[in-house]
Structure 1
Amino acid sequence: MTQLPIPQHFQPARVGEIWRVPYQERSIAAKSWAQQHQLQPTSRGQSNVQLLLIDVQNTFCLPDFELFVGGGSGRGAIDDNVRLCKFIYRNLGKIDQIIVTMDTHHLHQIFHPSFWIDELDEHPLPAVTIEPADVRSGKWRVNPNFDSEDPEQLQAYASHYVQQLSDGGRYPLTIWPYHAILGGIGHALVPAVEEAIFFHGIARASQASFEIKGDRTLTENYSAVAPEVFTNQAGEIIAGKNDSLIKRLLAADKLIIAGQAQSHCVAWTVNDLLTEIQAIDPQLARKVYLLVDCTSPVVIPGVVDYTAQADAAYQRFADAEMNIVKSTDDRLFL
């Protein structure tokens, strides 16, 4: 099947804006589009091509929100999503299901400012990193005013947590701005991408699947399939792998991955997925396709730039025989 044209309703200039998707109007158009282009319901097909979209939410993808992923160009996530929407529309007949992860947070979580205080009872500013020595020395300690937790036990856990990150070769604990708060506008999908997902669902009679990640108070969850830390200081499990999602992803005939941010949630998701693949059959990596032009690294000008880490991660994935491609690459659907 050749690539389809882009529907007239798609407006690239509005990808970086907030607006309401006109569901009923789009549903009528998508049904007509399916008839015009002879698109069949996914249930009638023989393939299982899955598109995994990681955290394409307002909080990461729009410039006025908390953690806009600007990448090196300053427009990263906006341009990524223009290409992503075009990719979905052009390949409506080839993508069987879309799986969407939703970074989902609450006010008081270990990576938000309110969780920590210094000797002056001030909270850390966003972009501060907290290392094991910072907790041991008392430079940063857990806010003792959490009603539901024992302060001493929580402090012991905090020390354990940052040490686990260090020992495991993970990123150090970073204090992020309050973001992706459940129920807030930042938590929602970017409207242009939501519209493309909805259009695909009607045109192919395929229900998109949504996966919540990151809602555990005491651990980060960059990866869609596993938390940063699994156990507390007593060895008790605080969070586990998303085994059902892993199973679905590995069952795909072809798994295409895009989203934000390349250096964090995308990289750690792919890294954890690769660990699962290598434990089962390393050749499964060949069916994974990473849309390198539909993702960008975290870059905060003058503060931090994770481009090198993102590039290094993608080189590891390529070395493992995953496919690093652009959204317009002919190799995607050979």
Structure 2
Amino acid sequence: MNNLITTQLPTPPHFHSEKVSEVWRVPYQERAAAATAWQKKHNIQPAILDQTRICLLLIDVQNTFCIPGFELFVGGKSGTGAVDDNRRICEFIYHHLGVITKIIPTLDTHTATQIFHPIFWVNQLGEHPIPAVTNISPTDIDQGIWQVNPDVANSITHGDYELLKKHAYHYVKQLSQNGKYPLIVWPYHSMLGGIGHALVASVEEAIFFHSLVRQSPTQFEIKGDNPLTENYSVLRPEVLIGFDENPLAQKNQRLIQQLLEFDAVIIAGQAKSHCVAWTIDDLLTEIQHIDPSLAKKVYLLEDCTSPVVVPGVVDYTEQADAAFARFAAAGMHIIKSTEPMPISS
């Protein structure tokens, strides 16, 4: 094996770690000029010349999850988890500009009337569930504790309320049968067109800089816009088949194939217990179907991801750690962003 990620480039002068927790506009033209100068100064080759192709898959490094005060800030155990993670992600990108071939950020993308948002459900008084503390099970629906809001049927099933109820009940039942998390009613988040949907500015800046230095366009992957299923993983939704046995949604087969063609896939982002874990789990499932030895291509930056922790409410740290232990047992590498990665082409 060759230790390809050992020599580190310096961080460019425009990077300020104290701004990682803030929302601001990236000055694209200034960074473009700096990228050209940086490429020449450090003699960084275009990504197309890479003999060993390395992908950095960044899961949901968006304001909604990563900026304190936003809807679903991932504080982790420390309370500053996502901010610290993103500082390290930025440093990792800058230090390894010369060897990261492609950066693929995922974008959790939602609108208001989706099955995991409060407006989708009502109780007998017509009240919506309290987000972040409400789970909905088949029993809850059977007992009439929660039912589908008839007023959203018009926008989802063209006014067919009975059809929408069948979809929703099937979905919640499938989650329980497939060993998934129960349906969690989340606060409105990652709203398409909103500030929360945008990438964290410092990370966006680093990704933009990379794309110009390496002449390798950033590949954005949208997930989560289906109104009838959650989509923690970028590779597949939580439920694929509807109650009528017709496809409810599709796996991202194109991205699965693309990831497996890289010599190495490095994964970081938010949240370790949810979208990160689910994406890795789905990738591992595909790997085990094709060739279990491919798991050794995958590197998990454990210091660049944090679990969902809401003090006094929920703590998914143990579930996240158990998932990562299972990934390591399958052959994936769990490392820190400051460690050298032995990658062979």
Shorter-chain TM range is over 0.9
The normalised TM-score by structure 2 is: 0.95
Q: Contact 1:136–1:159 at 8 Å: present in 2 too? A: no
Cα displacement (A) at 1:149: 3.7
Alignment identity in percent?
61
Of 135, 140, 144, the residue aligned with 1:138 is: 144
Amino acid at match of 2:172: V
1:158 aligns with 2:168: yes
CA distance in 2, matches of 1:119, 1:242: 38
Runs of 4+ in 1 over 2 A off after TM superposition: 331-334
2:178 paired residue number:
168
Residues 1-49 of structure 1, C-alpha deviation per residue, up to 9 Å, x if partnerless? 7110111111110000000000000111111011111100111222210
Amino acid at match of 1:219: T
Residues 25-79 of structure 1, C-alpha deviation per residue, up to 9 Å, x if partnerless? 0111111011111100111222210000010000000012100000000000000
The normalised TM-score by structure 1 is: 0.99
Of 268, 276, 292, the residue aligned with 1:266 is: 276
Residues 118-160 of structure 1, C-alpha deviation per residue, up to 9 Å, x if partnerless? 0000000112111110011111000001212411121122111
2:226 paired residue number:
216
CA distance in 1, matches of 2:333, 2:141: 41
1:12 aligns with 2:9: no
1:76 paired residue number:
81
Q: Contact 2:50–2:99 at 8 Å: present in 1 too? A: no
Cα displacement (A) at 1:197: 0.2
Amino acid at match of 2:328: A
Which blocks of at least 5 consecutive residues in structure 2 are unaligned? 1-5
Amino acid at match of 2:249: A
Of 157, 178, 192, the residue aligned with 2:188 is: 178
1:22 paired residue number:
27
CA distance in 1, matches of 2:163, 2:144: 15
Q: How does 1:237-256 map to 2 (within 5 A)?
A: 237-256=247-266
**What secondary structure does 1:262 align onto?**
coil
1:315 aligns with 2:325: yes
Of 94, 100, 105, the residue aligned with 2:99 is: 94
Residues 161-202 of structure 1, C-alpha deviation per residue, up to 9 Å, x if partnerless? 111000000000000000001000100000000000001011
Q: Contact 1:160–1:233 at 8 Å: present in 2 too? A: yes
Of 86, 105, 110, the residue aligned with 2:110 is: 105
1:63 aligns with 2:73: no
Q: How does 1:200-211 map to 2 (within 5 A)?
A: 200-211=210-221
Quote the RMSD (CA, aligned, Å): 0.9
